[in-house]
Chain A
């Protein structure tokens, strides 16, 4: 066990628990719990958003992918980044102008509350749970390797701390934990990259040619490899990544923490800058690992693979260029990253339960802010325990498909509903509800029938649905059904739904009415 890592991590826990204590004193209302009272600045929110994206899985996973295959890692990075201009150009400002706490506020703005909120909460919870399972299992395994703790204990620690942060500190603590971690991770990754490039006098040509000479694939690491095999899969994955980001509840939730649409816009620019910079660093780190640890027996097991697995490339590289100190620092930051990301996810899930399901579906006639706040705290504890439980159950399962499925659901259910409710005047309650539901079911079915579950998990020899990524089919299905059902909807509700569009659109692009909106 690395004492530097443990002491740095304990320091992080102490600081973040103090922040939680400080945040808890300020939480008096729903506003402060869900959105930090709207007091986060664009810059702070940009850091927090980039923190949500720079998860341990993307830091270690993408640098590991670059280490194993070279160029293919870049395809994923760019896919994750390209969702941001889409969020900025289409979603961010109307979302801020129309919503208060969850994206369901926006989706149900002019539609019937109960069905649309139920559907949105379903979409949110599905995305959040899949993401949470992936993070928890990844966390347990990573901490096992880094700190030598048993898997179950690691999952308990992560789950326990996360419950503390979110239950007591709400969005205020969640945001600040995320900001601190984002700064630490950007700093750590920058240090590793500089130390690596320093060894090559910052000569990129020399850097890449040494990597080519060191890798068993040779110059193949400079071009696309096996990640994407056919054009349909390529376009399908591209769509899921491009529009999935605009449907992730824990990301959308962050736009309610800033004062207005100007700050919302600013946050995306900062976030895009930080995330883009971070992905460039992971690319350098992956190539650095090829050169410095790929043939260094200190970091290899007897079979010639990396100790741990390929995802440990960045961690080993930190040791190779910066010794025990940098290894300790990066390990502690990786642990902190997991905590920050699961906290954001849990808060998004909890607000879907308390604000959408409890306050607007189950108990809509009897609005009580204090009770809703209590329910959101209970929902946090419930989700935290559920995450621990699922983390333990899924330890030995193949969970590689989970983040992909989360993105597919976000792109094929959440995004179409949000997008059409904002911009299409003929959308009706039935269209959104049934179309969205069909889309959700089709997405899940296609993923189950695809090679990632049918072959890799159920061990059938051939998949029924041949493509690994369903978005091309599932997104079109959702748009098709939502539009057809809406157009054929002749109910009185449909007339009301369409009538509400003018006023909603006016508010969504001017922001006029937003202050009143905050009070009711």
Chain B
């Protein structure tokens, strides 16, 4: 077995912030639903679109972007490191 401490630290640096982003934004959404439902129901000026709907759609976007960013960073930083270890 070769030394993989470098690989582990790269992985941590990529995964932990992304994990935090997801957990934070999702629970923010949940907490808003539980404690401030009327705030989410507020509508944008001159419009029937509520903050809740915008937050929800934004969250769907964030979830997708996080998966994209992870794959991008994995290909750029993790895969070369694994190749180094495997060679």
Contact = CB atoms under 8 A, between A and B. Distances in A.
A85 B27 contact: no
Contact of B60 (A78, A205, A222, A224): A78
Contacts of A90: 15, 19
Given A84-B63, A280-B60, A509 B4 contact: yes
A88 B14 CA distance: 12
B4 to A, nearest CB: 6
Interface in B33-76: 33-35, 37-38, 40-43, 47-50, 52-53, 56-57, 59-61, 63-64, 66-68, 70-71, 74
Given A223-B38, A511-B82, A503 B22 contact: no
Given A89-B18, A222-B52, A231-B31, A272 B64 contact: yes
B19 A89 contact: yes
B79 to A, nearest CB: 7
A235 interface: yes
Contacts of B43: 219, 222
Contacts of A59: none
Interface string B1-12: 100100110010
Contacts of A75: 33, 56
Given A78-B26, A222-B43, A242-B26, A509 B33 contact: no
Candidate in B15, B53, B57 with the most chain A CB atoms within 10 angstroms: B53
B18 A81 contact: no
Contacts of A374: none
Candidate in A90, A238, A242, A503 with the most chain B CB atoms within 10 angstroms: A238
B4 A506 contact: yes
Contacts of A81: 60, 63
Interface in A438-458: none
A3 to B, nearest CB: 38
Contact of B53 (A222, A269, A510): A222
A71 B52 contact: yes
A502 B3 CA distance: 11
Contacts of B50: 71, 219, 222-223
Contacts of A509: 4, 7-8, 11, 82
The secondary structure that dominates the A interface is helix
Nearest to B25: A82
Contacts of B59: 78, 82
A501 interface: no
Contact of B68 (A212, A224, A269): A269
B20 to A, nearest CB: 10
Contacts of A220: 41
B63 to A, nearest CB: 6
B86 A74 contact: no
A5 B71 CA distance: 40
Given A88-B70, A280-B57, A223 B41 contact: yes
B53 A234 contact: no
A266 interface: yes
A223 B32 CA distance: 11
A235 B27 CA distance: 8
B53 A74 contact: yes
Given A78-B26, A262-B79, 19 more contacts: A71-B40, A71-B41, A81-B63, A82-B26, A85-B22, A85-B70, A219-B43, A219-B48, A222-B41, A222-B49, A223-B41, A228-B33, A231-B34, A235-B30, A238-B30, A242-B26, A269-B67, A509-B8, A510-B86
A78 B70 CA distance: 19
A222 B48 CA distance: 8
A91 to B, nearest CB: 11
Nearest to A241: B26
Candidate in B42, B67, B79 with the most chain A CB atoms within 10 angstroms: B67
